[in-house]
Amino acid sequence: MPDRSKEVSPAVASLLQKDDDALFVELGNRLTALSSAPGFGGEFAPVMPQAFGPVDDLRKIGQKFWEKFNKQAYDLVCGTDESNAALRKQILDAFNAGENAVAAAIAATLASGAFALAPAVAAVIAALVIKLFFKPAHGAMCAVWKEKLPQNA
């Protein structure tokens, strides 16, 4: 996978300035845009020429996608599955450099072949992980996150 860190870091830094609600709207907007223009998803910070639906609908789309993907993101960052150990180590190594570095590492990993999320979507998912669960210590973040996982996941 080519190193796209110069592209990922500013993209997630911009997203981290938004609140949770705005991130769900952003996620819904990017997902909706992907359905009509798949090439759009290749950028971590795509230029959004318009909203692709009413804000309430975009928020619901973003929240539904997050609900479905939440467990996979948790397993990547906090899990113990050996198949993701190298990817998890890259993310954990970023904890020493702060939340933007962790978000960039998560976004890059989610956009890699292992997860194959569109970069436009991976960046927002990474920002949501940081906004909803980031703590200075990885263990504390994972404990809080685990408590918030749906019971049937």
Interval 34-54: pLDDT, tens:
888 777 778 888 887 777 888
Neighbours of 130 (CB within 10 A): 21
Is the confidence at residue 120, as pLDDT, over 80? yes
Q: What is the pLDDT of residues 82-110, one digit of tens each?
A: 877 877 887 777 777 778 888 888 888 88
On whether residue 38 sits in a domain, the answer given is: yes
Can you tell me the distance from the alpha carbon of 59 to that of 128, in angstroms, rounded to the nearest whole number?
A: 13
Q: Report angle CA 148, 131, 66 to the nearest 5 degrees.
A: 55
On whether residue 153 sits in a domain, the answer given is: no
Question: What's the domain count of the chain?
Answer: 1
Q: What residue numbers bound the domain in which 22 lies?
A: 5-148
Q: Report angle CA 77, 20, 135 to the nearest 5 degrees.
A: 40
On whether residue 130 sits in a domain, the answer given is: yes
Can you tell me the distance from the alpha carbon of 23 to that of 26, in angstroms, rounded to the nearest whole number?
A: 5
